[in-house]
Amino acid sequence: MSVLLIAEHNNKEVKSFTLNAITAASQIDQDLHVLLIGHNADDVAKYLSEVPLVKKVLHIDNEIYENYIAENYTSAILKHADKYSHIVCSANTFGKNLMPRIAALLDISQVSDIIKVIAPDTFLRPIYAGNAFATVKSNDDKKCITIRPTSFEAAETTGGSAEIEKVDAADKTENTKFVNREEIKSDRPELGTARIVISGGRGLQSGENFKLITDVADKLNAAIGASRAAVDAGYITNEHQVGQTGKVVVPDLYIAVGISGAIQHLAGMKESKVIVAINKDGEAPIFSVADYGLEADLFEALPQFLEELNKLNTIQK
Amino acid sequence: MKILVAVKRVIDYNVQIRVKEDGSGVVTDNVKMSTNPPDDNAIEEAVKIKEAGKASEIIAVTVGEEKAQETVRKALAVGADRGIHVKVDSVLEPLAVSKILKKIVEKENPDLVFMGKQAIDDDCNQTGQMLAAHLNWPQATFASKIEVKENSLEVTREVDEGLETIEVNTPAIVTCDLRLNEPRYASLPNIMKAKKKPIEQINASDLGVDTNPRIEHIKIEEPPKRKAGIKVASVEELVQKLKNEAKVI
């Protein structure tokens, strides 16, 4: 049997986490098909067909899919479920919203947020905010899986030439209407895929003070993260939150500034390759995961950090 | 309007989790247990809607072992009117819980079902969406704002890109984010009053639902430990280390 991966996109571009999910899906079974549900998304279909790991693209084009609504996606996906042994997508807000609805209707116990494919029916997944790893085996005939994107490399995007098959739309729900989406446009790298992330916590004390973070981020071409405390306090918007109930990031360098390091925050960043903590409380738990800890007042340390960076001849991009 | 709120008893969010040496699970003996944090937000939101005169009754339901009743009692202390405890002997998968909740919904006919977006123990993030699927109801997940309208809800959802707003017709399922509201503490008089509120006990086995596990837990283990780091004395030293030792900038 084959694997069916549900693509996330905005009708113009594939969302980058879909490429990580493609890598994981191809480890389950190489006969990987991607289902693209959208409207006027021919460019996205073409892009997906050129991903070498993709063997076939199923493309549904209908105006009812202009905006992503889980109910409408589910009815479309169920029409194809019979032919596949696995249905998979990324474990971000897109896939977390969608997959359980599909799994329930197929009477399948979903395996969420896998970080490793051990066998086509056996996976590794973090539980308890990543404080334990569970090896789980699904005994359902068919599997519904969501994939933690940051645990898999992004798939290559050129060189393939998969067939694109047009397929029909399914029923539209009358009970859910899309109203709007407030997307904050930014020229900075995306939090989930950035090479460097610098995050601020409650220690920043105000939204204005986040400028100290953004100045360094600009210099390093870094994405900006935040602890839940900083988001709750209104210093910065929700899409920056890193942690158990926010985003999981695995950058080459994670700089935590004024973040004490609650286990819920650590869950979202402790797999980062290099971790720096800047905090004036030397006992803060964040230091227990930091490769380099600096016990200092962030209001002095961050301007100095920027100054030292400015002295460097080159900075990696 | 009637609101059903589902709550789950989990290891308290402040407890440092310890994995059992035999790989069979995590240590739960003598460990502090609490209501799953976003379930507190779900209860709070229901109580606020009732206080605004838009709901007539709030029913708190839990599916769990004997002591899970404590989470229902807590919900009653912050404003739920009555409780339902569906008793089970083992830990159920979200699929099984969603089938049990479907039975409770069919019995109680609520207009809304609220619950937390994710339980902080298994981190599955499935039950609400699965219940919505079983009932063929609309779902509004990861809610950070709920506006009650006539026969519908306008729900602001926290998504990767920022915020998304959808309108769902009732009956509907809403899964709640931690930023939806600030859960209140139960006052002592309300805790006393809650002791008199009724909790109906139902045995899961009487509901005629298949709750057999589909997923085998082969091994639970500690995650790999990070190598101990160092403290640097100055910003200058930090930048030098990042440049020349870690080679990340």
* pLDDT attached to residue A11: 97
Average pLDDT, chain A: 96
CA distance B243 to B246: 6
Which chain B residues in 3-32 lie under 8 Å from chain A, judged by CB atoms? 11, 13, 16-17, 19, 26
A203 and A161 share a domain? no
Please, which pLDDT band fits residue A1 given cuts at 50, 70 and 90? confident
A232 and A279 share a domain? yes
A305 and A201 share a domain? yes
* pLDDT attached to residue A316: 80
Question: With 80 as the cut, is the pLDDT of residue A185 above it?
Answer: no
- Inside any domain, residue A160: yes
Q: What is the mean pLDDT of residues A279-308?
A: 97
B121, B172, B218 ranked by CB distance to A137: nearest: B218
The nearest CA of chain A is from the CA of B80 a distance in Å of 26
A10 and A159 share a domain? yes
pLDDT tens digits for range A123-132: 999 999 999 9
Chain B residues with beta carbon closer than 8 angstroms to that of A275: 226, 229
The nearest CA of chain B is from the CA of A49 a distance in Å of 25
* pLDDT attached to residue B78: 97
Q: What is the mean pLDDT of residues A290-308?
A: 97
Question: With 90 as the cut, is the pLDDT of residue A315 above it?
Answer: no
CA distance B6 to A131: 25
A151 and A271 share a domain? no
Percent of chain A residues past pLDDT 70, beyond the cut = 100
* pLDDT attached to residue A186: 81
A124 and A265 share a domain? no
Note whether B203 contacts A: Cβ–Cβ < 8 A. Answer: no
Q: What is the predicted ipTM?
A: 0.96
A70 and A16 share a domain? yes
pLDDT tens digits for range A16-45: 999 999 999 999 999 999 999 999 999 999
A142 and A31 share a domain? yes
Task: For residue A208, list its beta bridge partners.
Answer: none
- Hey, are the CB atoms on B125 and A134 less than 8 Å from each other? no
Note whether B111 contacts A: Cβ–Cβ < 8 A. Answer: no
Question: With 90 as the cut, is the pLDDT of residue A249 above it?
Answer: yes
Helix, strand, coil proportions of chain A in percent (round to 5)? Answer: 30, 30, 40
Please, which pLDDT band fits residue B166 given cuts at 50, 70 and 90? very high
A61 and A145 share a domain? yes
Q: What is the mean pLDDT of residues B87-91?
A: 93
Cα-trace Rg, chain B: 21
Helix (H) or strand (E) holding B38: helix B37-51
A38 and A160 share a domain? yes
Domain harbouring A63, CATH code: 3.40.50.620
* Domain range list for chain B: 2-223
Domain harbouring A279, CATH code: 3.40.50.1220
The nearest CA of chain B is from the CA of A32 a distance in Å of 24
Q: Which CATH superfamily is domain B2-223 in?
A: HUPs (3.40.50.620)
Chain A residues with beta carbon closer than 8 angstroms to that of B162: 181-184, 237-239
A8 and A127 share a domain? yes
Q: What is the mean pLDDT of residues A174-186?
A: 89
B89: Cα within 13 Å, side-chain hemisphere: 2
Side chain identity, residue B64: G
| Residue B20: C-alpha distances to residues A115, B27, B217 (Å) | 21, 6, 13
* pLDDT attached to residue B227: 84
A152 and A209 share a domain? no
Average pLDDT, chain B: 96
Which structural domain, as residue segments, surrounds residue A10?
2-167
Please, which pLDDT band fits residue A313 given cuts at 50, 70 and 90? confident
Q: What is the mean pLDDT of residues B163-186?
A: 97
Q: How many domains does chain A have?
A: 2
Note whether B211 contacts A: Cβ–Cβ < 8 A. Answer: no
